[in-house]
Structure formats: C-alpha cells, structure tokens
Amino acid sequence: MLPKAYAARMERLLGEEFPAYWEALGKPPVRGLRFLGGMGQEAFAAALPVGLSPIPYVPEGFYLEGEEKLGRHPLHHGGFFYLQEPGAMLPVRALPLRPGDRVLDLCAAPGGKSLQAAAAIGETGLLVANEIKPERCRVLAGNLERAGVKNAIVTCEKAERLAAAWPEGFDAVILDAPCSGEGMFRKEEGALAQWSQGLVERCAALQRELLAEAAKLVRPGGWLLYSTCTFSPEEDEENVAWFLEQGEFLLRPLPEGLRAFVRPGVGLEPCARFYPHVSPGEGQFAALMQRVGEEPRRDFPAGLGKLAQEAAEFLSQTLEGEPPAAAALPDGRLVIPPGRGLSPEGVTVREWGVPLGMAQKGRFVPSHWFFRAFGAGCRRKLSLGLGDPRGEAYLRGEELAGEGMENGYGAVLLEGRCLGGVRAAGGRCKNLYPKGLRNFR
C-alpha cells in the first residue's frame, strides 16, 4: 500500500497517467545488465542462463528475461557484465562525455554509473569514484576491481573536502544524490516502509548542500549531472530551480535520443522523469546542467613518490613489453596511477589507480586488481574458454596444472579476460584468487 500523501501527490502530478503508473507498480521489478565487453555479444548472450533483450537507450544494456541469479556465474566473476537496474543506466547516457575527460562520481556506490563513465572516457580519461560511507566504499572498489578498471581513483570523503582539494578540477561531475527512494518502491520494501514527508524534506536539504559543493568541482564550461531515484518535486525540480538561481549553471535538455523514454520535468521541462509505466525499469530523475564560461580543467601536483625496486622488478618480469609507470602514494602504497592532474593530498584515498601489491620479505606480492587490469598482458598465462572445467576449478580456489609454464607470477584468462592471478612453480599454479570471492558453485 502506498502512503496516502504520496499517492495523492502522484495522482496530481500524473493526472490521466496515474492508473498506468499504479498498474506498473503491481508488476515485478525489471532486471537489467550492462555488457562490459571482452567477447562477442552473441556468444555472451548464448552463455547466460537467461534471455536478453536490448535496452533501446543504452547500446550495451539488456533487460533480463528469467529469474536465474547471475552473481555467481563465471562471466560475472570475470567482469564481463554488471547487473544494473535499467532506469539507472539512463542519466549517464545524457552526459556528453569524451575520451580523456576527467569525471567525478560524487556519491558513487555501488558503482554502476562510475563504470558507465569509465567506459565513456576510456583509459586516457580519469574517473574519481567517491563514497562517504566506508562499507559502501568497499563495495564500490570491489565492482571497479572486478571490471578491471585502470583509470579510477576511489575516495571515501566528504564533498566539501573534495571541493577544497580539487576546485574546478573536473570536466563533469555526477551527483546521484541520496534521496527518499520513491522510484524504488516496487523494488525495495525498505524504501516504502521508511517514507515520510519529513524524510523528503531532510533529503532535499542534504541534496542542496551536495549541489553547492558539486558546483565548486566543475570547471567553467563543464557539466553537472544531478539525478535521484525519487519523484518528489522538492528533491528534484525545486532543488534544480534553487541551484540555477545561483547563476553559475544553465539547464540543458537531454539528448534527443533519450527523450522518448522519459516524461519532462514538472515545471522545468528540460529535466527528465523516468517512470515505470513509460519505460521498463524503476524510477529516476535527471537534470543536465552546464557551468557558464569555458576554461580548461585545473591540474594539481601529483605528490607521488618513487617506485620500490622490488615492484619495478616484478613489473619487468611479469608483463610483456614496456611495463606501465608505477609510483608510491604518500602512505607508502604502491600503485599504477591513472594519469596526471590530481594529488592525493587532503583527501581520504581508498584506491589510487590500480593497486600494485606489497613488498614482503624481499619479494613482491601483487594485488588481485593488478591482475584484473593487466593480466591479459602477462608473460605467463593460462587461456581458457567458457566451459573449460579449469575455469570453474580456479574460481573455487583450486590449484591448477601449469605444465610448461615458467616459474613466476601469471594470469588465468577466460575468453581473453583475466579472472585473476597464479604463481607458477614446478609445473603447478598456486591459486591467487581472493578467498572472499570464491563463491562459485
């Protein structure tokens, strides 16, 4: 049962469309995924125990047809796809991102929008994925790790501290703000149970604080994408109108190709409302804004130290060709940084680029993220096809045979994409797949 105050407000907003909205709420939630590449789409679809149908506004997005859970599927372990609600894929599609852009996802967990942005800006770009809650930040980092993202920084920080450290440092900022969750009522019983007008007002106040800080992080001429998964005008159009009154940003329409799947904003038509009765998926609101002016983004001193000798030797011995540049963070962690232009000084860093690993007792122990990001370029590797029993054995943590493999660190590839690392010795491969991820059955 919807709260009476909420139902009355939605009936006023939707008018003759309200019965269709009400009917949509009685249907099961719609599931979706984004294909992250690594194999052909036809082979990918054939390998899953569910049907796939295209999401029209996301070329790499698919609706799931079937009830099977996919979290333990080998292709999920391999980072070939990310499970994401279809409506949540739409906002980032509105951003005019280009390869090489620097993007901040301010409230990023669990990471779906961050992964979309990372794909759009490519390895020449830089993604900062921030999450203020440490437990959610761990989930965010884990999803970026599984996808093998090379160009990301993960921070666990307040928005005002990021704005102080990196003013005007980004071409685009994504603010998918904490909200009252009205668009998730069909999917999450908790959102329905906690709803109240007081919650709406508290969320609206927090969102204004976040918008004010997000504005400081966007370069002149850059973009701010504001989105929520709620329908309250207080949290959506009224907050956007308040923000525009500050005079630094202009509201821009969504790209033409997206407008057929949304309804215009209430009183601010360039905004977009994604309703479950209009397109399959849960509720979303999006507003695309551009900062007045045109200036290049700012760069900041890197503040990184020299690479430890053990790590340099590991890279030259493990990877084919010229190894990537690596460095040390101020706290001593060894990383392959995602590019130049930002400094870790003044922010709480969980991950800076790809964590390289640790020097232990005279030898170097690589991280799992290193293998996910660079494993395909390892000198030593086991290349497996889908259905090879060695792939499932690896995901269970079993040791593998490595006849003919030179001693040292190497990678296990599934359809060309790295599952994780091994350490070869004497014709056997010690399994380095993290114990916490060995949930394959």
Decide: 195 and 182 in contact? Cβ < 8 Å: yes
> What pLDDT score was predicted for residue 11?
97
Decide: 143 and 169 in contact? Cβ < 8 Å: no
> What pLDDT score was predicted for residue 61?
97
Q: Is the dihedral of CA 385, 387, 390, 392 positive or negative?
A: positive
Decide: 66 and 50 in contact? Cβ < 8 Å: yes
Categorise residue 364: left if φ over 0, alpha if ψ from -120 to 50, beta otherwise: beta
> What pLDDT score was predicted for residue 440?
67
The rounded radius of gyration (Å) of the Cα atoms in the chain is 23
Low pLDDT (below 70) residues in the chain? 440-441
- The answer for residues whose C-beta is within 8 angstroms of residue 331's C-beta and 6 or more apart is none
Q: Is the dihedral of CA 325, 171, 112, 116 positive or negative?
A: negative
Categorise residue 293: left if φ over 0, alpha if ψ from -120 to 50, beta otherwise: left
Residue 94 in 3-state DSSP? coil
> What pLDDT score was predicted for residue 309?
84
- Residue 343, both tokens: 């400094």
Owner of token pair 């790209």: 255
- Alpha carbon distance 191, 180 (integer Å): 7
Q: How far, in whole angstroms, is CA 226 from its chain's centroid?
A: 16
> What pLDDT score was predicted for residue 310?
84
**Residue 156 is a catalytic residue:** no
Decide: 52 and 70 in contact? Cβ < 8 Å: no
Q: What is the DSSP string of 178-216?
A: ----GGGTTT-HHHHHH--HHHHHHHHHHHHHHHHHHHH
> What pLDDT score was predicted for residue 60?
96
Q: pLDDT tens-digit profile of 178-213? A: 999 999 999 998 899 999 999 999 999 999 999 999
- Residue 151, both tokens: 């160009």
Q: What is the DSSP string of 351-387?
A: EESEEEEEEETTEEEE-HHHHHHHGGGBSSEEEE-TT
Decide: 143 and 243 in contact? Cβ < 8 Å: no
Of 156, 229, 271, 429, the active-site residue reads 229
- The answer for residues whose C-beta is within 8 angstroms of residue 260's C-beta and 6 or more apart is none
